[in-house]
Amino acid sequence: MFQYSISPTGERFQLPEQEDYSKEFSRLEDVVKNQRAFGREIVLVMGLGFVGAVMAAVIADATDEKDNSTKFVIGMQRPSTRSFWKIPFLNRGISPVSSEDPEVPLLINRCVNEKKTLMATFTYEALKLADVVVVDVQCDYLKEALGNIQDGRADMDALEESLEIIGQHIGPETLVLIETTVAPGTTEQIAYPIIKKMFRKRGIQTDPLLAHSFERVMPGRNYVSSIRDFWRVCSGVNEEATRRVVKFLNEVINTEQFPLTVLDRPIESETTKIVENSFRAAILAFLDEWSIFAERNGVDLIKVIKAIKVRPTHSNIIFPGPGIGGYCLPKDGGLGVWADRHIHGFEDDIFKMTPLAVNINDTRALHVAQLTRDALRNMGRPIASAEILVLGASYREDVGDTRYSGSELIVRRLTEMGAELRVHDPYVLHWWEFEKQDEYPASSHSLKRFFRGQERLRDLRVEQSLEKALHGTDAVILAVRHKHYLNLDPDEVVESAGGPIAVIDCFGILEDEKIRRYFELGCEVKGLGRGHVKRIKDQVREGKPPLPLNIPMQFAEDKR
Ligand SMILES: NC(=O)c1ccc[n+]([C@@H]2O[C@H](COP(=O)([O-])OP(=O)(O)OC[C@H]3O[C@@H](n4cnc5c(N)ncnc54)[C@H](O)[C@@H]3O)[C@@H](O)[C@H]2O)c1
C-alpha cells in the first residue's frame, strides 16, 4: 500500500519507498560535487517548517562581496504524511508556508529556479554532505490541563531523534547550529552528549562542534527580514564552535546593520529566548484583568492603551486579543520552568509569574464565548443552535498559522455551549486542529479533550467567501486583525447576514462610528476590553432610534 502526503492545495504526493533513498542520495552527491566546484559551503537545514523553510532560503540567497553565492542549501524534511509535500513544493520553487510577505515566494523561487542554490530532500544521508547543519525541528511543551502549565512536560522526541540522526551521519568538522527554542541547558546537557555518544560509536574521537542561536522570526508581513535583518544572539559549546557559528551568521545574516550578541555559553543563548518570550507573555497577560475591568466599568481599553503608548517608556504595552496563540508564547515559559527541575534537578518551585502569565493567556479566549452568549441573549436569541461565524483562524494577523490560536478555543467553547460554528480565514485553507483533531497536533493532544461535544468539529471547513460565510449568521466574532476585516462596512455585513446580528470585537478592530452604526442597524456589539460600547448603545437608543430595518422587537430590546 502506497502512502500519500496531501498538500494544503489538495495535491497528493506518494511517500518515498525504500529503493528511492539510494537514488536520492546519488542525485544529491552529484549536485553537491558541482556546488563544491563553485567553492560553496554545503548547509543542511533540518525541518522545513515556518522557520526552516524561510531560513533555508535566506542562507541560499547569501552572497560574497562580488555577489557570488557562497552557500548551497539542502532543506531536509522527514517524509511524514503530514509534511512530505513540502519537499516537492520547495523543489518546484514554491513556498511551503503561506504569508503576507511577498518576499517569501520571490526568495524561494529565486534560490531554487534562478540561483539554483536551494533544494529539498527526504533522506537523512544528506547530512553526510553538510559542512553546517541548522536544526529547525520543533520542541514542544505538552500541557496536560487547560490553564495549568505546570501540569505538563517538554516534548523533546523530535529534537532528540534529529540529534541522534545527526550524530550518526555528520562528519567530525560539521558545525551543528541549533535554532530550535529549547529548554535552557539542552545544547550542552542533552544535544552534546547525544552527538558525542554517536561519534564515539563511529570511532570519531573529536568533540562535536555545537552552537545555539535562536530565531526571532515573525511570520507576517516582514517574514524574511525578521530572519535576515534582525539582531541575533549565539553561543558555542567551545571556542571553535563559537568561532564557526559567528563566521556562519556573519555570512548569512545582515549582522553589519544588526550586530550579533555572542554569549559565553549556549545556556545563556537558550535562556535569552525563553526570558524574552516569557516577558512578552507576561505583559500581555497583565492586561487580561484590566480588560475585564474595562468591560465592567465603561472603559475602552484600546483608547487607554493608545494614551499610555505615547510615553516612550511604556511604548510596548500591547492589547492581548483573544488569547496569545502562536507556536512560541504559549510554550516557551513552560520549557524554562520544566528545565529547572528536569534538566538541572532543582526541587523547589521558584517560578510564579511565568506560569501565571501563560495560564492567563491560555484561557483568555474562553471569555469571548461568554461575550457572544451575552450579546445574543440581549437580542433574545439563545446560544444553543445559534449560527456563529468566527472571522480569523490564525493566531495573528496576516499569516496562515493556526497553532494555539485563540480562535480554536472560541470555537471549542461555543460548540460545547451548543452553537453551530463556521469560520472564515483568507490565509487558511485547512484548519487541521479540527479536521484532524484526533491526530493533530499529536494524538491525544488536541484541545478537544478539554471540552465536550467536539466530535462534529472534524467537519468544520474554512469558508473562503466572506459573503457566503456571513449569510444567515446570528453572530460574527472578529477574532483576528487580518487586513480583510479592518474596514468591513456594517451595512454590508448586516445585509449579507440577512438582518441584525451580534458582533464581538476581540481585537479593538471596530472604531466608534462602526460600533454606533451596528447599534443603529439593530445589532448588539460587545468586545474584549471595550466597556464603552454600552455608552454608545445608550446614545443610539436615546438619541436616534435604530434605522427601520425590519427588526423583530425582541432583537432590538436589551434584556438586561
Ligand atoms: N514559528 C515561529 O514563529 C517561531 C519563531 C521563533 C522561533 N521558533 C522556533 O523555531 C523552531 C521551529 O519552529 P517551526 O515553527 O518552524 O516548527 P514547525 O513545526 O513548523 O517545523 C518543524 C519541522 O521539522 C520537521 N521535523 C521534525 N523532526 C524532523 C526530523 N527528524 N528530520 C527532519 N525534519 C523534521 C517537521 O516535520 C516540521 O516540518 C521551534 O523551536 C520554534 O519554537 C518559531
Decide: 5 and 79 in contact? Cβ < 8 Å.
yes
pLDDT, position 544: 62
Decide: 43 and 130 in contact? Cβ < 8 Å.
yes
pLDDT, position 553: 38
pLDDT, position 442: 77
At how many degrees (to 10) do helices 353-363 and 266-296 cross? 50
Cα angle: 413, vertex 397, 370; to 5 degrees: 25
The DSSP secondary structure of 67-88, one letter per residue, reads: S-B-EEEEEE----TTTTTHHH
Q: How far apart are CA 458 and CA 461, in angstroms?
A: 8
Looking at the DSSP bridge assignments, the partners of residue 132 are 43, 175
Q: How far apart are CA 399 and CA 397, in angstroms?
A: 6
pLDDT digits (tens, 9 = 90+) for 414-423: 999 999 999 9
217 lines ligand 1 (CB under 6 A): yes
270 lines ligand 1 (CB under 6 A): no
- Amino acid residing at 103: E
Mutate to test the pocket of ligand 1, among 127, 137, 164 (most ligand atoms within 8 A of CB): 137
Mutate to test the pocket of ligand 1, among 15, 133, 155, 327 (most ligand atoms within 8 A of CB): 327
Provide the grid cell at 144: 496536560
pLDDT, position 543: 85
412 lines ligand 1 (CB under 6 A): no
96 lines ligand 1 (CB under 6 A): no
Residue the block writes with cell 474596514:
487
pLDDT, position 559: 32
**Ligand 1 atom showing the smallest separation from residue 97 Cα:** 20
Q: In terms of Cα–Cα distance, which of 261, 298, 234 is closest to 534? A: 298
pLDDT digits (tens, 9 = 90+) for 349-359: 999 999 999 99
In degrees and rounded to multiples of 5, residue 310 shows phi and psi of -65, -20
50 lines ligand 1 (CB under 6 A): yes
Q: How far apart are CA 410 and CA 460, in angstroms?
A: 14
pTM across the whole model: 0.91
Helix (H, G, I), strand (E, B) or coil at 478: strand
pLDDT digits (tens, 9 = 90+) for 232-279: 999 999 999 999 999 999 999 999 999 999 999 999 999 999 999 999
- Amino acid residing at 218: M
98 lines ligand 1 (CB under 6 A): no
What kind and span of H or E run contains 519? helix 512-520
Decide: 360 and 291 in contact? Cβ < 8 Å.
no
Task: Pick out the chain residues at pLDDT < 50.
Answer: 546-560
Task: For ligand 1, atom 32, name the residue with the nearest CA.
Answer: 78
CA atoms within 13 A on the CB side of 188: 17
**Ligand 1 atom showing the smallest separation from residue 332 Cα:** 43
Q: Which residues of 497-512 are buried (b: 16+ CB within 10 A; e: fewer)?
A: bebbbbbbbbbbbbee
pLDDT digits (tens, 9 = 90+) for 304-328: 999 999 999 999 999 999 999 999 9
Q: Which residues of 523-535 are buried (b: 16+ CB within 10 A; e: fewer)?
A: bbbbbbbbbbbee
What does pLDDT average to over the chain? 94
